[in-house]
Amino acid sequence: MKKIFIYIVSLPFVLMSCELTDVLDNNPPDNLVPENVVNNQKDAEALLNGVYTTITSRTTPAYYMFTELIPSGMIGTMSSVGGGRNIEFTTNDVQYDNSEVQNLWTSFYRVIDMANTSIKLTSELEDSEFTGNKKAEILGEAHYLRAMATFDALRYYGQFYDLSSELGVVLREEPVNFVTRNKARSNVQECYDFIINDLMYAIDNAPDFSVTYRGSKTSAKALLAKVMFFKGDYSEAIQLVDAVVAEGNRSLESTFADVFDKGLNSSEMLFMTHRDVNSDTEDNNRKRFYPGKAGTTWYADLMDADPRKASSYNGTTILKVNHLDTFRPTYFMRLAELYLIKAEALLRSGAGVEQAKEPLDIIRERAGLEETTAGTLDELSQEIFEEIIRELAFENGSDWFAAIRFDKAKDLQPTIISEHQYILPIPEEEIIGNSQINPADQNPGY
């Protein structure tokens, strides 16, 4: 294949939308060029705000929406995720030249590039330009956001489930330019190490928890618990879950409905997108035209008698992540997920049935269900899987990745016939534009 080099420079899209910046009353610096992007604390704060804006902006391939639609479509909790070639996701027949495969990849790497720009330019400023511990806090938040986007890139495009695999993703720790653009894939272990290091930095330096839509020490610990869990380090994941709960910064809402009715003000949100009356507009929030429809087969059957159904979907329409009264936010992580991570980690680490039941029953009780009657590990495994689906469907791929972990994807979706379908292909444009990735580096099966 003849290589055509496509170079992407990070600074031109530093702040493509001001929706979050406006909310924070902190406007971006004008005339964004390397000499004046960051001259002081105010500029550094504006640049960091741009990283958050990249997650929520409609002008970016929609990170906030794609991470709900694509995984739910692939496992069937959503039966439709749009027209055209989007049908490839619901039929599990995704092709490497699918434009949405490219868009999802781009959405992750734009956040990564923005975070790298924030880290680089903020680090170059003198400490005297900042008040108190603000410089370290900005860098901590940027490392948290880079870790989140890198982890998502690994989960969708790398063999995240195999630490010995060479098929990780491209790790980027500096802004993309003509020199740094071409870079090979790293292996899976290297990807996990990179993500973990970023989160450890965030735990040490990010600000204490304050609002649900900013990175913090608490959200970094929560994400690290999830990363360790995916990596298979169950004891560390359990300790981190316990640490987040013990902090007391977050607590479960009294009812499942309250979680979504309260939105930004929910006591159990760890990290979510910021949406308000000003940002939930036709220009800024594509969820106004949400094409996702609730599945009509296995998911509907599972939810049929569950008390959470009324807050999850109405007929075939998704409700929980397209809640009109709370301006259609995206939930990246909340405390309920940590309890379920702990239950599954205990199960997988060889703890007894009774011990693994405890965090599971906390979520069941909140949902209005009785304690689980599972008496064997196999029965408890099924209960935990079903509880993850009922509680977390449509939230940041929780349904899709649970089906993979519990080896249920092929049973739930007959069009999944190979583990190769567990991850998406490296996009065509990345292979063409990155001289260090060749067709031979493509994921198996594509």
Both 147 and 253 in a single domain?
no
Residue 86 forms part of a structural domain: yes
Compute the radius of gyration of the chain from its Cα atoms.
21
CATH code at 266?
Answer: 1.25.40.10
Residue 302 forms part of a structural domain: no
Contact 428, 437 (CB under 8 A): no
Both 134 and 228 in a single domain?
no
Position 172: which residue type? R
Both 258 and 127 in a single domain?
no
Rounded to whole angstroms, what are the CA distances from 356 to 265, 345, 353, 382, 431?
30, 8, 5, 13, 44
Query: How many CB atoms lie under 10 A from the CB of residue 278?
Result: 11
pLDDT of residue 13: 36
pLDDT of residue 8: 37
Residue 175 forms part of a structural domain: yes
> Given 206, 226, 247, which residue is the final one in a domain?
206
Both 270 and 151 in a single domain?
no
Question: Structural domain tally of the chain?
Answer: 2
Q: Where are the beta strands (DSSP E) in 296-419?
A: 313-314, 317-318, 331-334
pLDDT of residue 155: 98
Both 251 and 109 in a single domain?
no
Q: Which residues contact 85 (CB under 8 A, 6 or more apart)?
A: 95, 98, 99, 100
Instruction: Give me the phi and psi of 353, to 5 degrees please.
Output: -60, -45
Residue 90 forms part of a structural domain: yes
Contact 207, 132 (CB under 8 A): no
Contacts of 281-289 spanning 24+ positions with Cβ under 8 A: 283/58, 284/17, 284/19, 284/56, 284/57, 284/58, 285/58, 285/327, 285/328, 286/58, 286/62, 286/65, 287/65, 287/321, 287/322, 287/328, 288/328
What share of residues in the chain are helix, strand, coil (percent, to 5)? 55, 5, 40
pLDDT of residue 289: 85
pLDDT of residue 11: 41
Residue 314's DSSP bridge partners are: 317
Residue 442 forms part of a structural domain: no
Both 230 and 367 in a single domain?
yes
Q: What is the pLDDT of residues 57-73, one digit of tens each?
A: 877 668 999 999 999 99
Both 188 and 242 in a single domain?
no
- Tell me which residues of the chain have a pLDDT lower than 70: 1-36, 60-61
The structure tokens 């039929």 sit at 91
Both 43 and 133 in a single domain?
yes
Both 200 and 226 in a single domain?
no
pLDDT of residue 61: 65
Both 112 and 196 in a single domain?
yes
Query: What are the residue ranges of helices labelled H in 263-334?
Result: 298-303, 309-312
80: left (phi over 0), alpha (psi -120 to 50) or beta: beta
Contact 117, 11 (CB under 8 A): yes
Rounded to whole angstroms, what are the CA distances from 187 to 194, 377, 424?
11, 33, 16
pLDDT of residue 60: 61
| pTM of the predicted protein model | 0.92
Helix/strand/coil for 272: strand
Both 99 and 174 in a single domain?
yes
Q: Which of 282, 359, 249, 297 is nearest to 90 (CA)?
A: 297
Residue 101 forms part of a structural domain: yes
Q: Which of 389, 424, 421 is nearest to 403 (CA)?
A: 389
Question: DSSP per residue over 219-237, as a string?
Answer: HHHHHHHHHHHHHT-HHHH
CATH code at 37?
Answer: 1.25.40.390
> Given 206, 221, 244, which residue is the final one in a domain?
206
Domain span at residue 153?
Answer: 8-206
350: left (phi over 0), alpha (psi -120 to 50) or beta: left
Q: What is the pLDDT of residues 330-359, one digit of tens each?
A: 999 999 999 999 999 999 999 999 999 999
Residue 290 forms part of a structural domain: no
Residue 292 forms part of a structural domain: no
CA distance 404 to 422: 7
CA distance 288 to 65: 11
Q: Which two tokens stand for residue 381?
A: 């495994």
Q: What is the pLDDT of residues 354-400, one digit of tens each?
A: 999 999 999 999 999 999 999 999 999 999 999 999 999 999 999 99
| b/e per residue 47-75 (b: at least 16 CB within 10 A) | bbbbbbbbbbbbebbbbbbbbbbbbbbbb
> Given 191, 206, 221, which residue is the final one in a domain?
206
pLDDT of residue 4: 35
Both 79 and 138 in a single domain?
yes
CA angle 54, 60, 61 (to 5 degrees): 125
pLDDT of residue 35: 52
Count H helices and E strands in the chain, helices first: 18, 6
